[in-house]
Amino acid sequence: MLTIPATILHTCSAPTDPEINPPESVRHTRGIASTRYLWPQHSTITISLFDMPEKAKDYVKKNINLWQPYTNLKFKFIETNDGDIRISGKKDGTGSYSAVGTQAKEYPKDSPTMHIDLVQTADMLNHTIRHEFGHALGLEHEHQHPEHTINWDKDKWLEEGKKLGLSKAEVYKNVLDTLDPSLTIRSAYDPKSIMHYKTPAWVTTDGKEVPFTEDISEEDKAFMMSIYPPEEPATV
């Protein structure tokens, strides 16, 4: 599992690896999702929260439920630790990560499918929970979109990754590699997506940055509605 520290680019990775022409309904929205790991339409996903105080559970639930109006999936929080999505807040130094969609079913039942580092500023924590649950619903990293416009300075990234104890393979897998078009459904690249890493100017060759975002973008909402169409579409 790879966690990129917040000191450079906040957030996560799925512990294991995860262009087809998108349906008409997605062509004017933005985002990218794994075709292999989407949940069945209109299904109920059970969610377990553990290794965290009750107030923290409420906070995590509040952020997760921000996705609810834009999907036909049902989120059911349960008291036991055997949910489809199992979220740990244990202080074990593993950072924040999530399985991608139904990839969670491949994890041992006694293992978390998501981990949230709860010791963060409020804006970072909001971003983390919303981003990780986007992964849990099947979304991939936006900065690895086949049509992204980032001009990475790969040497600087690899140098920084080395300082952070990351291998070259880990840096490429979680940041620099473009996602396989044959394994994703996608629409237009969205630099405002909650699924995008903050990109400082110094890791690009043209000095352009992608700023931190705390919010689920309007394009995120539209894309989520296109892959899990609500019965009564929410206003975006």
Bridge partners, residue 184, by sequence = 34
Cβ atoms of residues 35 and 181 within 8 Å = no
207 in any annotated domain = yes
Q: What is the widest separation between alpha-carbon atoms in the chain? A: 50
* Domain shared by 74 and 152, yes or no: no
Q: Which domain holds residue 173?
A: 140-228
Residues 6+ away with beta carbon under 8 Å from 169? none
12 in any annotated domain = no
Give the chain's domain count. 2
CATH code at 117?
3.40.390.10
**Dist. CA 195–CA 220, nearest whole Å:** 8
* Domain shared by 84 and 147, yes or no: no
What pTM value is reported for the model? 0.85
184 in any annotated domain = yes
Q: How many residues are there in the chain?
A: 236
112 in any annotated domain = yes
19 in any annotated domain = no
- pLDDT, one tens digit per residue, over 148-184 is 999 999 999 999 889 988 899 999 998 999 999 988 8
Q: How confident is residue 236, by pLDDT bands cut at 50, 70 and 90?
A: low
Write down the mean pLDDT value for the chain: 86
* Domain shared by 111 and 82, yes or no: yes
Q: Give the CA angle between residues 27, 102, 197 to the nearest 5°.
A: 60
* Domain shared by 171 and 106, yes or no: no
